[in-house]
Amino acid sequence: MDSLSTFDLPKNKKPIVIIGAGGIVADAHLPAYSKAGFEVKAIYDLDTQKAVALAKKFGIPVVCKELNDLIEFAKKYECVYDMALPASVILQVLVQIPNGSGVLIQKPMGENIEQAKAILDLCQKKNLVAGINFQLRHAPYVAHAKKLIDQGVIGELHDIDIRMNVYIPWHLWDFLYQSPRVEILYHSVHYIDMIRYFLGDPKRVLAKTTKHPKMKGLASTRTSIIMDYGDLIRANINTNHGHNFGSKHQESFFKFEGTEGAIKITVGVYLDYPKGLPDQFEYNSLKDDEGWRSVKLDGSWFPDAFIGPMAGLMCKVENPSYQYINSVEDAIHTMDAVKQCYQSSESA
């Protein structure tokens, strides 16, 4: 299955300008846009040399030394913006983006719910077509799970279980050591958002997030979350990023259970990180006698899923009635669930 077939693509692709030249842009944004045939016309970063290096590697024709230069360039070519910035500086950059522009903002939507609300208010005030890059919804295996569930293949969905027992070298991201919030805000937020994509908003959220004895410089690296959907639906997230004992007993999976079957997705990117292992997609439906079967899917979370939020943004710019699942109006509800997680953890 061609991974591009899972995305809604615009009739006319808009050119892109990128603000930020960090690792996520190099490893995910630019490879995804190249695969989708999106044209990146210009890039800007406070560290011009980083921008120059990415421009050379990915064939970006223009490197802007000042943000204002990038904005003027974007106006000229009617570009959409890709803002890949730390959450703490989103607002101060967003205020400079021209009214009516199309903007994709790297997750999270600010560092807390107050910033998230301020981002939403500013986007609406400036009439921006704006989205948050919660791209896990667009990972090929999540898209296929949604398709099977919507088709009723596993019956009525009543259980989602997410487990990450892996080792992540957090020292690769220096800025996280200055952040008062880490694991939920920068990692489990993906899973919270994905569960919302399948089940909607929870009635409440219970959580506890903790440090690791060997990672005391970080706010937290382990989390347990219960998203409450009533008496018949269970949705749990359990993460431990400190399992540094080899890959044998590492776990990285999403499991969906319905009244007539189940789906299990092995998320390979976090196994033996950063090398990674292959993804696996398996499902079992009681509606037939075939038992567990594997499905080969083209593409993965990184970089393929990063096509979706940008493609959707272009579709929304092109057609205001398009249902954009990464809109800031939807993302604010994910950030509200994050708020509830931290409130629950701090009150425990």
Reference 328, options 156, 157, 105, 91; nearest CA is 105
Reference 160, options 61, 78, 80, 229; nearest CA is 229
Q: Is the pLDDT of residue 1 over 90?
A: no
Reference 111, options 139, 92, 127; nearest CA is 92
Instruction: Kindly report, residue by residue over 13-41, the tens digit of the pLDDT.
Output: 999 999 999 999 999 999 999 999 999 99
Instruction: Kindly report, residue by residue over 214-233, the tens digit of the pLDDT.
Output: 999 999 999 999 999 999 99
Q: Mean pLDDT, to the nearest integer, of 270-280?
A: 92
The upper half-sphere exposure of residue 15, i.e. CA atoms within 13 Å in the direction of its Cβ, equals: 16
Instruction: Kindly report, residue by residue over 282-315, the tens digit of the pLDDT.
Output: 999 999 989 999 999 999 999 999 999 999 999 9
| Stretch(es) of the chain classified as CATH 3.40.50.720 | 3-136+305-325
Q: Per the CATH hierarchy, to which homologous superfamily does domain 140-300 belong? A: Dihydrodipicolinate Reductase; domain 2 (3.30.360.10)
Q: Is the pLDDT of residue 94 over 70?
A: yes
Tokens of 272: 């033996």
Q: Is the pLDDT of residue 2 over 80?
A: no
CA distance 236 to 291: 25
Q: What does DSSP say about strands 204-210 and 222-228: parallel, antiparallel, or unpaired?
A: antiparallel
Q: Mean pLDDT, to the nearest integer, of 166-190?
A: 91
Q: Mean pLDDT, to the nearest integer, of 129-154?
A: 98
Which of 99-108, 272-281, 321-330 is the least confident region? 272-281
Confidence label for 209 from pLDDT (cuts 50, 70 and 90)? very high
Q: Mean pLDDT, to the nearest integer, of 42-69?
A: 98
Reference 107, options 262, 293, 338; nearest CA is 338
User: Looking at per-residue confidence, does 236 or 174 come out higher?
Assistant: 236
Domain 3-136+305-325 belongs to what architecture? 3-Layer(aba) Sandwich (3.40)
What is the pLDDT at residue 145? Answer: 98
Confidence label for 3 from pLDDT (cuts 50, 70 and 90)? low
Beta carbons of 242 and 222 less than 8 angstroms apart = yes
What is the average pLDDT score of the chain? 96
Q: Is the pLDDT of residue 192 over 60?
A: yes
Which of 129-133, 139-143, 170-174, 176-180 is the least confident region? 170-174
Reference 305, options 2, 1, 7; nearest CA is 7
| Stretch(es) of the chain classified as CATH 3.30.360.10 | 140-300
